[in-house]
Structure 1
Amino acid sequence: MHVRLRRARIATLATLGMVVMSSVALPGIGVFREPDPVRAALGAVGTLLFAAAQAALLYATVTPDISRNVQHRLAQAFCVAALASVPLVGPLAASPEAGRWESWAWIGASILATAPVLGRRALVLSTVAATLAAGALLAWWHGDIGYFTITVAVGLCFIAVNGLHLWLWTLLVEADEGRQAQVRLAAAEERLRFARDVHDLLGHDLSVIALKAELAERDPGRAAQEAADLRRLAAAALSDLRRAVHGYREVDLRAQLAAIEKVLRSSGVRCTATLPAEDLPQEIAALLAPVVREAGTNVLRHSRATWCTIDVTREGVTVANDGAVERPADPHSSGLRGLADRLAESGGTLRTRLEGGVFTLEATLR
C-alpha cells in the first residue's frame, strides 16, 4: 500500500471512528443515569459488544488484505450484536428519575449508518427495516417520539458523511488496483511479444531441421550431407536466438529511471534522479537497472518516504530516502541479496545503511 493510499485509509478510519465513539459515549450517558444497577450493567455490556462488533466490521471494510470470508463473519457478528442491543440497551433511562435519555436511539442511528457496508442488498434492507421497527417500538414504549427521530435523523447524517468517505476510499482502491493491473498487463504483453518473436525466428529453422532429419532417416546414403546441413541450420538458429535474447535484454536505463520517478511521485514521494549526460554502455546499464528497480520497490514497500534521491554514474548508483524504520531482515526476501550476488559476479559491491531514518543503498561497479 503506497503512501497516498495509506493516508486516505487513515483519514477514512478516523471518520468511521467517530461513529464508533458515538455508539459508546452517547448510550453511555444512559448507563450512568440508570438508577437500576442490573439495567445499567446490562446496558454497558450491550453497548460495548455492539461498539466492538461495529469497529471490527468498519475496520475490515477499509482493509483490503482481509478476506471476503472474514468480512462476512464480521457482518454476521455485527447483526447479532445489533439485535442483542435492543433488549440490553433499550430499557436504559426509561424512568422519569433517569431523565428519559434515548440510549438505544443512538445505537439505532449507528446501525443505520453501518448497514450499507454489510454487502448483500437483502441483508442491508432487512437490517434497516428491523432498526426502524425497533426504534418505533422503543419510542412507543418510552412514550418519547425522540427515540425514532434521533434514530432516523442522526442515522441519515452518519450515512451521508461515512458514505462519502467510503465511496472515495473505494475509488482510490480501484484506481490503485487498476494501476497494478496495467503494470501486470504491460509485463504480460512484453512476454507475449518476446515469445512471438522467438516463435517467428525459430519456427522456420526448426521445421527445416525436422525435414532434414526425416530425409536422413529415409536415405542413409545422404545421411552425412543431411547431418552437415543439420549442424549448419542448428548453429544458425542458435546464433539467431542469441541475437534475439541480446536485443531483448538491452536496457534503456533512462526510460526505466523516468518510469520509477513517475511511480514514486504518483505515490506522494518527491523524487530527484540524476544521470550522466551521455548514455551509459549497455553492460553498465544492464547491471544498474535491476538495482534502481529494486531500490524503487523498497521505497514503496518498506518505508513511509516523503523524498527519494537517485544518483546514477558510470561507477554505480546511490539511492537514499527518508521514512525508513529499523526492522529485522526478512529471511524469505531475496531482492537485495540477489542484487548483491549479481554485482559480485561482475566485481561490484552493494552496501546499505540506515542513519536517522534515512536509508541509503550504494551499488558500486569495479
Structure 2
Amino acid sequence: MVTGIRPAGPAEALSTPGMRRASLCILAGAASGVAACVLLAALELRREPDPRGIVLGAAGSLFLVVALAGALYRSVMPWPATTGRWLIAGCATAAVLSVPLVGPVGGTPGRAWAFVGAALVGAAPLLLPVRYAVTLMAGTVLVAAATAWWLGGPVRDAVTVTVVLGLTVATWNVLHLWFWTFRAQAREGRDALARLAAAEERLRCARDVYALLANELSALVLKAELASRLALVDGERTRKETAEMRALAAAASARMREAVHGYRSVGLREQAQTVARVLRNAGVRCSVTQPERDLPPALTGPLVSVLREAGAHVLRHDEARWCTIEIVREGSGARLTVVNDGAGDGAPELGGSGLPGLADRLRDAGGTLRTWREDGTFTVEASVRAGGRDSTTAA
C-alpha cells in the first residue's frame, strides 16, 4: 500500500531547495494542526482529579504525538517504503492504545479523546490514500462516539469536537497538499521543457548534418567498394577512384566545418527570443534587452552557446521567478549578461561540461565568462571581443 502525499520520484522532486522548503512548509502546517488538537486534549487532562489518570493520559497522548510526527515526516520526505509501513503501523498502535489511556481521563468523560480523534482525522489525508483516509476518518468519529457513550459522557459533544475540529485541520492540510502538488508539477514541467528544447535542437542539428553529408557519404561508400574490387585488376583506375574519394572526403569535411560554423555563429537575436519564450512557458518572467543591429558573426558564435546554456541552467538548477537577458555592444566587442533570482546555495561548479565548461572554450575565443551568486540571484556574464581566435571553438 502506498502512503503519503509524495508523487513518484520523491528524491528527484526534493532535489532542489525550493521543493525541500515546500515540503517542510507542509510538514509545519500539518504539525501545527495536530499540535493544536493535542494541546486541547492536554488542557482537558488537567481537569482530571486523579494524578495517575493524568500520567496515563499524558503517556498515551505523547505516544500518539511521536508516532504521528514520524508518520507525517515520512509522508513528505523520501524515506524507504518499509520504514513508512512501520511508521503507519506504529501510529495505528498508538491510536488504539490512546483510547483506554486518554478516553476516561479529564473533567468530561470522552472529551479528551475526542480532541485526540480530531488530530487523527486531520492527519489522515496526509498519511493515506483517499479511500483509506476517508475510512480512517469515519472510524475515528465512531470510536469517539462509542468512547463517550461507554464512559457516560456527552456523545453529541464528542462527535461534534471530532468532526468539526478534525475536518478543519484536514482542510488546512489538504490545502497544503494541493500547493505542494502544483509546485511539484510545475517543477516537472520546467524540466520537461528543458529536455524538450535540448532534444529539438539536437534533432534539428542532426537533420541539417544528414542533409549536407548524405550524398557525399553515399558516394564515398560506393567508390570505396569500387576501389576494393579494382585494386588487383586495374591499378590506374584504383588510383583515380582513390583520388576522387579523397576529394569527396575533403568536400564533406569542408561542408561540415561550414555548417558547424554557421550553426554556432548565427542567430543570437533569435536565440535570445527563443530562450525567453521557453522561460516564460515555464512560468519565469523574462525580459530581453539587445542592440537594434545584429552583432557580427565573430561575436555572435560564442555568445549563442553561453546564452543557450544559461537558459538551461535557469530551468534545471534554480527556482527562478524572473530572468533578465541583456546583450550590449562594447566597442569592438560585446557582453552578454543573464541574471535570475531563486539561486540555490553554494558556489557554481567548476570544470566539466555545461555552463562552467564553456569558460575555457570562451577564453580560447578571446573572451571571458564569469558566474556568481549574490543576494539570492545568479549572474552569468560573458564578454567577447573582435580579433580573438576562431569563435567556433567556444560553441
The TM-score by the shorter chain falls in which range? 0.7 to 0.9
Q: Quick one: percent identity of the two aligned structures?
A: 44
- 1:231: which partner in 2? 246
Shift of 1:278: 0.8
5 Å matches for 1:1-366? 12=26, 15-58=29-72, 61=75, 66-67=77-78, 70=80, 73-74=83-84, 76-88=86-98, 90-92=100-102, 94=104, 98-100=107-109, 102-120=111-129, 123-124=132-133, 127-128=136-137, 130-144=139-153, 145=155, 146-220=157-231, 221=234, 222-261=237-276, 271-295=286-310, 309-314=324-329, 315-320=334-339, 327=346, 330=349, 337-351=356-370, 361-366=380-385
Taking the aligned partners of 1:363 and 1:268, their CA distance within structure 2 comes to: 25
Taking the aligned partners of 1:2 and 1:232, their CA distance within structure 2 comes to: 53
Q: Secondary structure at the residue paired with 1:280?
A: coil
CA change 1:349–1:49 in 2 (3 A) is: farther
Contact 2:371/2:380 (<8 A) preserved: yes
Q: Secondary structure at the residue paired with 2:292?
A: coil
Shift of 1:206: 2.6
CA change 1:37–1:242 in 2 (3 A) is: farther
When normalised by structure 2's length, the TM-score is: 0.73
Judge which range, 326-335 or 239-248, deviates more: 326-335
Q: Which runs of 5+ in 2 are unaligned?
A: 1-14, 386-395
Shift of 1:326: 7.2
Taking the aligned partners of 2:201 and 2:213, their CA distance within structure 1 comes to: 18
Contact 2:67/2:87 (<8 A) preserved: yes
Show CA shifts across 1:214-235 (max 9, x none).
2222223031122122112222
When normalised by structure 1's length, the TM-score is: 0.77
Q: Secondary structure at the residue paired with 2:327?
A: strand
CA change 1:30–1:305 in 2 (3 A) is: same
Taking the aligned partners of 1:7 and 1:256, their CA distance within structure 2 comes to: 33
Q: Secondary structure at the residue paired with 1:365?
A: strand
Contact 2:194/2:316 (<8 A) preserved: no
Show CA shifts across 1:49-90 (max 9, x none).
4334444544555x5xx44x6367336414422431332365
Q: Secondary structure at the residue paired with 1:347?
A: coil
Taking the aligned partners of 2:113 and 2:346, their CA distance within structure 1 comes to: 46
Cα RMSD over matched residues? 4.0
Contact 1:273/1:310 (<8 A) preserved: yes
2:112 alignment partner AA:
S
Taking the aligned partners of 1:110 and 1:226, their CA distance within structure 2 comes to: 86
Q: Secondary structure at the residue paired with 2:101?
A: coil
Shift of 1:276: 1.2
Taking the aligned partners of 1:115 and 1:149, their CA distance within structure 2 comes to: 18
Contact 1:309/1:320 (<8 A) preserved: yes
Taking the aligned partners of 2:348 and 2:57, their CA distance within structure 1 comes to: 48
Contact 1:42/1:88 (<8 A) preserved: no
Show CA shifts across 1:255-277 (max 9, x none).
33334445666777665442111
Shift of 1:177: 1.6
- 2:388: which partner in 1? none
CA change 1:19–1:236 in 2 (3 A) is: same
Taking the aligned partners of 1:324 and 1:167, their CA distance within structure 2 comes to: 25
Q: Which runs of 5+ in 1 are unaligned?
A: none
Taking the aligned partners of 2:292 and 2:40, their CA distance within structure 1 comes to: 66
Q: Secondary structure at the residue paired with 1:277?
A: coil
